Chains A and B, each alone.
Chain A
């Protein structure tokens, strides 16, 4: 195995250590990953834009900074990929849309700033469903991303680019955003670890809003410890985000003991029934046995209101999206129609007709409808009431269980184009992940095996701010499952 292939197999934490001890230089690491990206991209298209020059500049800036101050951080020089809905100063941020094809932000998202401060080096921005509206990364204006396990299949979405980049060793870890499963479902499809933290734990400042009350930024990695480490980098109160919560951030990655003994795990009946594909359910059940074997008490619990989750989500997410996406109007920045127009109203209409893709338009229309006079009470207000019921169902579950589990997605990665024509089927891909966003709780997806050669995700949900417990059980299961080797075998050239 050549130097590059050996290097890119390292975890983020291993790389950090090797760089810190001087065994590897940040430059070598950056070069190796950029080389891997060059090799894998034609097959995968995980990135929308790559910034190699910026990355090398960042490496020298960082080295200068650390030499001067004698300051160091545990992750200096480790590369990262960031989903293209996070604002990066002076670097194109397109949100997968024609609308922002040439948009260069003037500021860094808080998460991006934190990552930079930690010395982590941004290599590029990853592909995504347009404005995060989608579950397959197929609605990107820049074309789909392919699943590294089978390039005829989707990587999931909307953070499909980040998931594929991590799974294919283009980067050791990445950052995504999760509105209804957009981190966990692609993590599941690509056989990696992805976490959606408690709502408010990670700043949303600089995250292009899709559905503000559901969006949350989170880490994606090939193992739980890296995922925990990245969470430690990006979590924390931010005065620029009014919904950010004030809480002490534990050093997640250093606190993982993998102790599952006596942990009460509830299997969510509504998320583990007949709507789950047989192969997925089978692997899920085997993982439950494994959990029991590790000493956890596993029992079934029912959260009856979850049967409404998908409907409630469609209403709330599209309502918020319709308003959040209103600012893309051709007036101040971004795309503006080239067609001749009579007045500003026609400019709006043409700009938005040409600048947005089908799925985004569908959600804007749906959202506009449910908020309209005469429909508000029937849809939006009712959805909010049921959202409260869902949160209450979770609250009562925490009285009996420490954690809840389910498959991450009812299926493995589907074929490109398979569900694009049937939005309802596409939305079903998020049925297990959506309730978590509605309740604002943390959840992780870890790979639990292969079904017909495709990865299957196991979702662990925790009470608000229960990240550490979620990560710890995930860490224990990961050790017992031993999945990562399978990834390398399948995805990397030997």
Chain B
């Protein structure tokens, strides 16, 4: 049988506005439970929603970045269902007249580009957070549940893709590319572990071109778990099809610790959300000049930056991709490349040693004690042959330890390479005088004696001499 996988994603992003979507409460993550609340986001009788203009601006910005059409007039609907983390037992969302639609995002899969259609980007409010106490850890079978409404009402942008993704890997790359764009836009911190970026997936497998049955998978809390869940589901559906069985249209819950997607509900059990236009809000009518103002505020996005890094700085593609992948890294690189040092070398250091140290310390470049100027200085010291690359690595570690500039570390530790030929000559003369046997050996044709002499010069300079310079000078002296 020939199988083809089709995946569509539904992504929720918490927008980092100061206040919530429909009330004035703080939209900051965390806080003591139920302290960022008011009659509005607790669903008290008589409270009313008022749309947060900043959230709308962020939504528009995201939609534009994903090449969507902005609807001049869109409508908020009520999505009705009972759940204890929903204070009103309906969620204000958008339904058949969303903020935007018809966009696309191209993702770079290395050897090919995949163009993924964006069905829509719309706005809605987040729910509260439930903690289910009991063995099941879920609402079913819980002894009791605790509710924190700090999150209730935080603005969400929902991004729905067309089913254009063909593999779990494409889904993962798509989500990473999207995350990178959102961070560039500065409209969300996109922390999957804190839930500010959440992703549900629809996956179906066609066998010999017979259209597959869609299964929804929820509760993936990292890029890795999105990938794993989709691989799991792909395998499960494939083997069912191979056995000639049918796929049930259903929603499954990804259980990360056990690595399985468990059935949650079938199509028949699906909620009837009874959507209807939210009567407490007038339609969202957008002034086109405002939309244009927002468009102008969109910064250079990852794809454009990648191209520019390669042309402007001659960066190899793999280095440029890593740098562009994290906006902070890209910014750091550009500020560092402002120095006299070679941008290609700077790029390599960032992707290599610096990334390794950051990973090890579990910090971001922004939190690191190194500044772009320091990195420029380090690379310059290396290029001027003031220090060796082995020393440069030590200096870098020292920078991370002390936060001091590379030049001052080098000076303090007296690590400057001895590049002064007169000083070197003096030391070489001493070594040659002390090791006349080796000198003789070399002259009589024993090439190995040269290495011995160079080694002694390096020892005497405590490694500060430039090895290739020493080699040249010793050879010159011996043959004179």
Contact = CB atoms under 8 A, between A and B. Distances in A.
A332 B274 contact: no
Nearest to A215: B279
A211 B48 CA distance: 13
Interface string B264-287: 000000001011100111100000
Contacts of A205: 46-48
A343 interface: yes
A332 B42 contact: yes
B136 to A, nearest CB: 11
A90 to B, nearest CB: 13
A253 interface: no
Interface in A318-359: 319-320, 322-323, 326-327, 329, 331-333, 343-345, 348
A376 B42 CA distance: 28
A30 interface: no
B84 A243 contact: no
A349 to B, nearest CB: 10
A231 B26 CA distance: 35
A106 B48 contact: no
A403 interface: no
Pick the most buried of B80, B142, B274, B275: most chain A CB atoms within 10 A of its CB.
B274
A157 to B, nearest CB: 19
B84 A344 contact: yes
A93 B279 contact: no
Contacts of B29: none
B45 A87 contact: yes
Contact of A333 (B44, B88, B274): B44
Interface residues of B, number: 33
Pick the most buried of B45, B140, B281: most chain A CB atoms within 10 A of its CB.
B45
B48 A240 contact: yes
Contact of A320 (B51, B272, B275, B279): B279
Interface stretch (A13-21, A366-374, A470-478): A366-374
Nearest to A87: B46
Nearest to B273: A373
B48 A242 contact: yes
Nearest to B22: A242
Given A242-B281, A332-B87, A323 B274 contact: yes
A59 interface: no
Contacts of A323: 78, 80, 90, 274, 276
Contacts of A345: 82
A213 B279 contact: yes
Contacts of B274: 322-323, 368, 371-373, 376
B455 interface: no
A331 to B, nearest CB: 5
B280 A209 contact: yes
Nearest to B50: A242
Given A332-B43, A333-B44, A242 B140 contact: no
A204 B45 CA distance: 11
B280 A212 contact: yes
A363 to B, nearest CB: 14
Given A103-B45, A205-B47, A326 B88 contact: yes
A243 B276 contact: no
A380 interface: yes
B145 interface: yes
A106 B43 CA distance: 12
A191 interface: no
B102 interface: no
A368 B78 CA distance: 13
Contacts of A333: 42, 44
B280 A106 contact: no
A107 interface: yes
B439 interface: no
Given A326-B89, A331-B147, A371-B80, A319 B48 contact: no
B51 A344 contact: no
Given A109-B46, A242-B49, A242-B50, A331 B282 contact: no
A207 interface: yes
Interface string B80-96: 10101001111000000
A130 to B, nearest CB: 13
A107 B45 CA distance: 10
A135 to B, nearest CB: 21
Interface string B298-311: 00000000000000
A392 to B, nearest CB: 19
Interface in B62-100: 78, 80, 82, 84, 87-90
A326 B90 contact: yes
A316 to B, nearest CB: 9
A206 B46 contact: yes
Contacts of A204: 46, 48
B50 A319 contact: no
Interface in B83-122: 84, 87-90
Contacts of A229: none
A432 interface: no
Pick the most buried of B48, B50, B90: most chain A CB atoms within 10 A of its CB.
B48
A304 B282 CA distance: 28
A211 B279 CA distance: 8
A86 B47 CA distance: 11
A100 interface: yes
A315 to B, nearest CB: 11
B358 interface: no
A144 B421 CA distance: 109
A241 interface: yes
A464 interface: no
A105 interface: yes
B45 A326 contact: no
B42 A326 contact: no
A413 interface: no
A95 interface: yes
Nearest to B132: A344
B294 interface: no
Contacts of B369: none
B427 interface: no
Contacts of A243: 279-282
A29 to B, nearest CB: 29
Nearest to A94: B45
B39 interface: yes
A326 B145 CA distance: 19
Contacts of B78: 323
Contact of B44 (A106, A326, A343, A373): A106
A343 B140 contact: yes
A151 interface: no
Interface string A84-117: 0111000001010000100101110100000000
A368 B89 CA distance: 13
A332 B149 CA distance: 10
A327 B276 contact: no
A239 interface: yes
B39 A239 contact: no
B450 interface: no
A208 interface: yes
Nearest to A330: B84
Contacts of B280: 209, 212, 242-243
Given A106-B44, A213-B279, 12 more contacts: A107-B39, A107-B44, A209-B45, A319-B276, A326-B89, A327-B88, A329-B84, A344-B139, A344-B145, A348-B82, A371-B80, A376-B274
28 contacts: A85-B45, A95-B45, A105-B46, A106-B44, A107-B39, A212-B280, A213-B279, A241-B48, A242-B50, A243-B279, A243-B280, A320-B279, A322-B80, A323-B78, A323-B274, A326-B80, A326-B89, A327-B89, A329-B84, A329-B89, A332-B147, A333-B42, A344-B145, A345-B82, A371-B80, A372-B274, A373-B272, A376-B276
Interface of B: 39, 42-51, 78, 80, 82, 84, 87-90, 139-142, 145, 147, 272, 274-276, 279-282
Interface of A: 85-87, 93, 95, 100, 103, 105-107, 109, 204-209, 211-213, 239-243, 319-320, 322-323, 326-327, 329, 331-333, 343-345, 348, 368, 371-373, 376, 380
